[in-house]
Amino acid sequence: MQVAGPRAFLAPAITASLISLVVVAFVVTADAPMWAYLAVPVAVALVLAPSLRKAARRRTLAQTPFPDAWREVLERRVAYYGRLDEAGRRSFEFDVKVFLDEQTIYAPANGGGVAPVDDDIRVLIAASAAMLLHGRPDLEWPTVRDIIVYPTKFDDAYTIGEGDIAGMVHAQGPVLISKRDLVHGFRKAHDGHNVALHELAHVLDFGTGSADGLPTGLEFVAAAPWVEVVADRLKTVRRKKYRHVLRDYAGTNEAELFAVAVEAFFEKPTKLKDRDPELYAMLQEYFNQDPAALFRGP
């Protein structure tokens, strides 16, 4: 059983402790009235309540059986899941359950409003997040954003069926994903194109406040070399002197380089490791997993 990562509890605990200290200092130094003494436990309870509620909900989820229909989707469509051992699959399924329980996923309805999304599509989106988080149980999904599933590609005006946008993430807004491209991304599991991995990688990137190719949860000491490698590969991809393992779109900017590199890391790990061991090692360290080893063998 895997419960909420330590980060989810640590941040509110620290905040609660600081608030308590301030109130206690006020009570002691100001010869405060009775209500001030009551303020301490109330403040602590208010700050901790959301995290405790979340943890309790996750504990219940951990004891809820994983739906057979969802497992069937993972077995049939998610190559990554198929390579995991028994313990890995249980942990992956738990991450899928948590993601689907805590995230809001819907489709735009004809004539306005929202429409529900089929479970198999919801499971594929959750599976993408579970792949990213698999080696990092300490990492909480950084921002709660709605995920809106469009039937096909769309254009800048969000006109469905026009344009060639398969996915998009707004700085403060929702994640948009084309269902057709999502399904295709999992059907072709080794071509380096997976719109859900790509857009959710952008969400990790936005977790630090801006999309600059530097994802949330990166160790402080890793940041400087990370920025250097990203800047260097950006130049390499743009130069086009030789075909880099990352597709040309990675040359757009740092954020796209990271998102495309994440797609390659999960979909073409052996090739990425052979052709660019430094970039692979950097992603391996960050995601705390080795997809090249996972996909090795029959």
Q: Interface with Zn ion by CB under 5 A: which residues?
A: 256, 259
Could you tell me the smallest distance in angstroms from the CB atom of residue 149 to Zn ion?
Answer: 17
Could you tell me the smallest distance in angstroms from the CB atom of residue 181 to Zn ion?
Answer: 12
Could you tell me the smallest distance in angstroms from the CB atom of residue 263 to Zn ion?
Answer: 10
Contact 54, 5 (CB under 8 A): no
Could you tell me the smallest distance in angstroms from the CB atom of residue 199 to Zn ion?
Answer: 7
Using the Cα atoms of residue 57, residue 58, residue 63 and residue 69 in order, give the sign of their dihedral: positive
Contact 75, 81 (CB under 8 A): yes
Closer residue to Zn ion (CB): 200 or 259: 259
Could you tell me the smallest distance in angstroms from the CB atom of residue 269 to Zn ion?
Answer: 20
Instruction: Of 241, 222, 123, 219, give the one whose Cα is nearest residue 179.
Output: 123
Closer residue to Zn ion (CB): 85 or 156: 156
Could you tell me the smallest distance in angstroms from the CB atom of residue 145 to Zn ion?
Answer: 15
Q: Which residues have C-beta within 8 Å of that of residue 263, sequence separation ≥ 6?
A: 192, 193, 194, 197, 198, 201
Could you tell me the smallest distance in angstroms from the CB atom of residue 256 to Zn ion?
Answer: 5
Closer residue to Zn ion (CB): 47 or 213: 213
Report the residue number whose CB is nearest to Zn ion.
259
Closer residue to Zn ion (CB): 203 or 294: 203
Contact 206, 142 (CB under 8 A): yes
Q: Count CB neighbours of 53 within 10 A.
A: 10
Question: For residues 202 and 213, what is the distance between their CA atoms, to the nearest angstrom?
Answer: 8
Closer residue to Zn ion (CB): 259 or 294: 259
Question: For residues 7 and 11, what is the distance between their CA atoms, to the nearest angstrom?
Answer: 6
Closer residue to Zn ion (CB): 92 or 206: 206
Contact 196, 259 (CB under 8 A): no
Interhelix angle 220-239/254-267, nearest 10 degrees: 90
Contact 125, 147 (CB under 8 A): yes
Closer residue to Zn ion (CB): 206 or 286: 206
